[in-house]
Amino acid sequence: MSTELGAETQIKSLDDVPAVARLAARQAFFIRWYRAVALVPFTVLIFIALKFFSDTPAGNIWMDAIYATLGWAIAVAAYAFYITFWGFLCPVCGYRFGSGEKCKNCGLPRHGDGSIS
């Protein structure tokens, strides 16, 4: 029932469409880990700057690096927001799938056998 796989193929879950399954896996990763991906570089840089280089006069270089990591954090958070709410379209109905275990519109499950990976 999908134009992506051909008319004779029945889609029973997102796992049946590899391209969409990769996007769904990326969405699940970012829903779970976006805070760490965003804030670990900032935290490590702050620790290094304060612990080892707090007495050096090159404060502007460290401030620029801190601003760069904050920009990274904002970019990661924005991407996580985007992929969570507008990440991909359901291959069956064509509407946004959402972040749940089933499509908000047609009820297509993420995984066909009931397992969560």
Please tell me what DSSP assigns to residue 15. Answer: G
**Long-range contacts of the stretch 100-106 (C-beta < 8 A, 24+):** none
Q: How far is residue 2's CA from residue 62's CA, in Å, rounded to a whole number? A: 52
Residues 64-96 as b or e (16 or more Cβ within 10 Å = b): ebeeebeebbeebbebbeebeeebbebbbeeee
Instruction: Provide the pLDDT for residue 104.
Output: 82
Helix, strand, coil abundance in the chain, percent, nearest 5: 55, 5, 40
Amino acid at residue number 58: A
**What's this model's pTM, rounded to 2 decimal places?**
0.65
Q: How many helices (H) and strands (E) does the chain have?
A: 2, 0
How confident is the prediction along the chain (117 residues), in pLDDT tens digits per residue?
A: 444 444 446 888 888 888 888 888 888 888 888 889 888 998 888 888 777 776 666 667 777 888 899 899 999 988 888 887 887 888 888 888 887 888 888 888 888 765 454
Q: How far is residue 24's CA from residue 71's CA, in Å, rounded to a whole number? A: 25
